[in-house]
Amino acid sequence: MSQHTSHPLAALWVYTLLRIALFGVLFGVLWLFGVRGLLGAIVALVLSVPLSFVLLARPRQALVAGVTGQVEARRGRTSELDARLSGRADDQTRPGQDRGTQP
């Protein structure tokens, strides 16, 4: 898996704005063809779902990679904290200090 330096929130905004833009373009095209109002909005919504799945694959993958990276980082921090709290992380003690003695 590739490492992404962008924050997942930025990828979420990009993906969301692209989905809204795709809906707007479809709604505009339908408006030009005379499909207006609520019917035009519903048709644009129905058409935008499969089109966004195909056309917005890269932004969606960037979003998934960012969220996955955040989840993996949190899991790593959680397991490290669990190890420290349970006493399994002996390398966390200072050199020359026993675990049972106070500094």
Domain spans of the chain, in order of start: 8-85
The yes-or-no verdict on residue 91 having pLDDT over 60 is no
Count of helices and strands (H, E) across the chain: 3, 0
Q: What is the mean pLDDT of residues 35-46?
A: 96
Q: Is 55 exposed, middle or buried (0-12, 13-18, 19+ CB in 10 A)?
A: middle
**What are the two backbone dihedrals, phi and then psi, of residue 4, each rounded to the nearest 5 degrees?**
-110, 135
pTM of the model: 0.66
pLDDT for 101 equals: 53
Q: Is residue 28 predicted with pLDDT exceeding 60?
A: yes
